[in-house]
Amino acid sequence: MTRFLALIGPHRTLLVFAIVSGIAHHLVVLASAGTGAWVVSRAITGQEFTGGLILLGVLLPFVALTPWLESYLAHVAAFRVLADIRGRIYAAFERLAPGYLLERRSGDLGAAAISDVEQLELWFAHTLSPLVSAATVPVAALTALGTFDPALAGALAPALVLLATVPSWLRQKAEAQGTELRAQVGELNAEAVDTLQGLRELVTSGAGPRQIGRFRGLEAKLLGAKLAHARRSGLEHGVTNALTVFGLLAVLVTAALLVTRGALDPALFPVAVVLAATTFAPVIAVTDVARDVNLVVAAGRRIMTILDTEPPVRDRVTDFSGDITPRVVFDTVRFRYAPALPDAVADATFTVEPGETVALVGHSGAGKSTCASLLMRFWDVADGAITIGGHDIRDLPQDHLRKLITLVPQDVYLFNIPLKDNIRLGRPEATDAEVVAAAEAALAEEFITGLPDGYDTIPGELGARLSGGQRQRIAIARALLKDAPILIMDEAVSNLDAESEQEVTQAMAQVRAGRTTLVIAHRLSTIRTADRVVMLDDGRTITTGTHDDLLSGNAGYRRLLAGQVAGVE
Ligand SMILES: Nc1ncnc2c1ncn2[C@@H]1O[C@H](COP(=O)(O)OP(=O)(O)OP(=O)(O)O)[C@@H](O)[C@H]1O
């Protein structure tokens, strides 16, 4: 929680004003309740009380104004801090992508960014200020009671002290419950996202009822965690109430004894009782929120785990200037995804000359996509080096590297924003005319203008309203617009119909022209048009050459292409 205090940063002043308003609120309530009781006792005993009434008149507007101010300022500060924390989480996602995100479920990460952060509102808007009030206001009340008679303060103090310690009695249990509950919420969220993403597969394979069963199981677990939380919270609530009554009774009895012995002015009797009653308010306010602080702690830990995770790659340099020749060299590159796993790339050695197209081929699992990821620096090589224009890519800032490279992936991701904005993703400042030119070159213009909303069409989540071939042409338009000198294309393995395939191939030829291109190729039509072919097997470069040379001289290559080339088996 202290780490979260450090995040308050620029919103500190707002929170300080909220806390001051909170203290003022409790003091004003204390003063007006005391004054009210004094006025009543003066009225009953037939004494003058006009001064008290005037004071009440002055105090009452502040009784309304100060809690409003406290709540408003604390919420403004809290919402701003939450927005800052979310910004940090999104930045962390970007820094950690894609390695860390592959290990975590996206629904669970979404829950951390949204509902865990939301949970922190309790701390910033509802706990901090009451905590300070609870620590200061009772001191003022005890001092006032002490001036009437020290025995009154002595009667009230034990209950107050005990009350303040209630949240710590079951702290360990509460923390474990909070951790369990927030983890269950994350799990349920992850399952919901997973189900929605795989809904088509669930429906077509008749696995819907099984999935509903899984949901019920998770719901039951969440319910169990919530009930455990509610039982402990209820117990603490009961104890708090009992201690409050005990404290009030102690003051009541002590005040009555003092009055009987003539040690306390009877007119102060109601004042003492009302003061004691009001003193409990800020302490109870804190114990009320403290019952749920375990959830805040758990949510905070989940958030901090994300913020504290080391990114898989770090910039060794922050600055780079100068031109780079787009010549890509893989020099005895070795890489594995985790220490316990075998090498995904064991010895990749090849060059892509400026403007040349190299097709990277190999059986499934040979390490083709890993090579592309290493070139994008999603991970750093374990041994060997990848250089661009003679510069080790680890000596280029990631921002700079990613400006040099465009990726056209297999599974094109389209955002649920207009197509024109999807196309200008890599160059947001591009004009509409430039977007149209890129779409034309990618052979996407015709189908886009044929849509009712044209370039303003929202493609649906993940581009669901477009065909596979259309999504690929949008990705190619994106790449053309970004205009990076190096292109990585991960060719889709999914079958396109002959017409779409031809259009995508033509569009690819446009975007490849003049660029250093590495194509992860599956189709013979693509491999044939490449200048050279690099064949990987088990993470190693086993041969390079032109398609024709390899076809005539390499049995492994022929086996790889068997079925795609007439006469090759
Ligand atoms: N994120 C990952 N974590 C762990 N292992 C991985 C990961 N991604 C790939 N691998 C493993 O690394 C090896 C190389 O995978 P890669 O995806 O690079 O092969 P590929 O040649 O691109 O295959 P395909 O043509 O099927 O896409 C495989 O054994 C694969 O199981």
3-state class percentages of the chain: helix first, strand second, coil last, to nearest 5: 65, 10, 25
Which residue of 101, 360, 368 sits with most ligand 1 atoms within 8 Å of its CB, as the best mutation to test the pocket? 368
Atom of ligand 1 nearest to the CA of 366: 21
Q: Which residue's alpha carbon is at the smallest distance from atom 30 of ligand 1?
A: 365
Q: Is 365 in the pocket of ligand 1 (CB under 6 A)?
A: yes
pLDDT at 234: 92
Query: What is the secondary structure of 411-470 as a DSSP string?
Result: S----SS-HHHHHGGG-TT--HHHHHHHHHHTT-HHHHHHSTTGGG----GGGTTS-HHH
* Per-residue pLDDT tens over the stretch 296-329: 888 999 999 999 998 888 888 888 888 899 999 9
Instruction: Say if ligand 1 is within 6 A of residue 370 CB.
Output: yes
Q: Is the ipTM of this complex over 0.95?
A: yes
Tokens of 494: 């999914």
Q: Burial letters for 382-417: b for 16+ Cβ neighbours within 10 Å, e otherwise?
A: eebbbbbbebebbebebebbbebbbbbbbebebeee
How many Å lie between the centroid of ligand 1 and the Cα of residue 347?
15
419-441 burial code (b ≥16 CB/10 A, e <16): bbebbbbbbeebeeebbbbbbeb
Pick the CATH number of 2-308 from 3.40.190.10, 1.20.1560.10, 3.40.1080.10, 3.40.980.10: 1.20.1560.10
Joined together, the tokens standing for residue 209 give 């009822």
CATH 3.30.565.10 fits 328-561, yes or no: no
pLDDT cut 70: percent of the chain above it: 96
Higher model confidence: residue 561 or residue 257? 257
The model scores a pTM over 0.80: no
Q: Whose CA is nearest to atom 2 of ligand 1?
A: 337
Distance CA 432, CA 40 (A): 76
Say if ligand 1 is within 6 A of residue 337 CB. yes
Quote the pLDDT of residue 413: 86
What is the tens place of the pLDDT at every residue in 101-156? 777 788 888 888 888 999 889 888 888 888 888 888 888 888 989 999 999 999 99
The pLDDT of residue 463 is above 70: no
Per-residue model confidence (pLDDT) at position 204? 79
pLDDT in tens, 499-521: 666 777 777 777 777 899 999 98
Number of residues written out for the chain:
569
User: Ligand 1 in contact with 521 (CB < 6 A)?
Assistant: no
Residues of the chain with CATH 3.40.50.300: 328-561
CATH 1.20.1560.10 maps onto the chain at 2-308
